[in-house]
Structure 1
Amino acid sequence: MGDLVGDLPKDDLAMRKILLAESDYGVIAARFGVSRQAVSYRALNLHMHSRGPKVEALAVLPWDVSNHPHRAEVIRDSIFRGLRRMVAVRLREREPDRYAKAFVRHVVEGDVAHLEPDSKRLIYVRRLPSDGGLVVRWPEGSAPPSPTQLQLLVCPEGEEVSAFLA
């Protein structure tokens, strides 16, 4: 069956090879003239799951949103996306996009991201000395940030700000 123009390969082995060679579903979608969701659906049917930039960046954040009562709303929130994408940029997994740029603009102006336990979205609040230069308000009662978290969640300065906002 193979590669059909405008369609994903029907052959499972051919599709697996494509997914293993290229991890970006958007690139695969453009190549075959289908939506990114079609590629994702096909990968799920093959039981192939990727650990993309989202997973690595999510592991650094101080909130475990996997069991949050409003998980879907939180992860679609623009502040959450900006924070996650800022971390992904620092991990060199993506280029700054509009969400990362908007987030960096807010934090360099003195705001931090904050998530209330039952809130449907993050909010910006003014940075306090107790925030320790981070871009997030650390949740009370949580373990202190690890060295990796400190490195990835510190407020950008100088040339890094310019690189984000370029």
Structure 2
Amino acid sequence: MNIDAGVLRAAFACFPSGVTAIAGLVGGRPVGMAVSSFASISLEPPLIAASIQRTSTTWPLLRGAAALGVSVLAEDHGELGRRLSGPGDRFAGVDWTAAESGAVLIGGATARFDCTLHQEVPAGDHVLALLAVTAVEFRPSVPPLVFHGSRFRRLA
């Protein structure tokens, strides 16, 4: 069955998802990107996954980082979500910290995971990055940013 990519993209846009920032230190500077295809995978061992386009120019830089921070963006991070998806200095004016591991974590995030790359799995025009969680912190009272219908939204 051959499905038009535009039709499939429109169908995928019907499913709301959270928005995460995946970031690490590369050459002592923060490098990161927005990812909306994120999932919890396993409790033992603790694993999460992100689906990343093979055409990404950021992922080849991040895959070699000592550690990766995965920050679940909060509802007021819409501008940051757009910035992390575009060109230019993605971290100018952004509240971020580097963990001892080198993971870059976004201030004000709903949840923050300090991770290492566990495995990459080819998945069509994407790669699934399986990340081993080494530390976590979260604030359940902070509502997350939601991506739905190709737009950032807030929970009602």
Query: Which structure carries more helix by proportion?
Result: 1
- Normalising by the smaller structure, the TM-score range is 0.3 to 0.5
The higher-RCO structure (CA 8 Å, 6+ apart) is 2
Give the TM-score normalised by the residue count of structure 2: 0.33
Give the TM-score normalised by the residue count of structure 1: 0.31
Query: Which structure carries more strand by proportion?
Result: 2
Larger Rg computed on CA atoms: 1
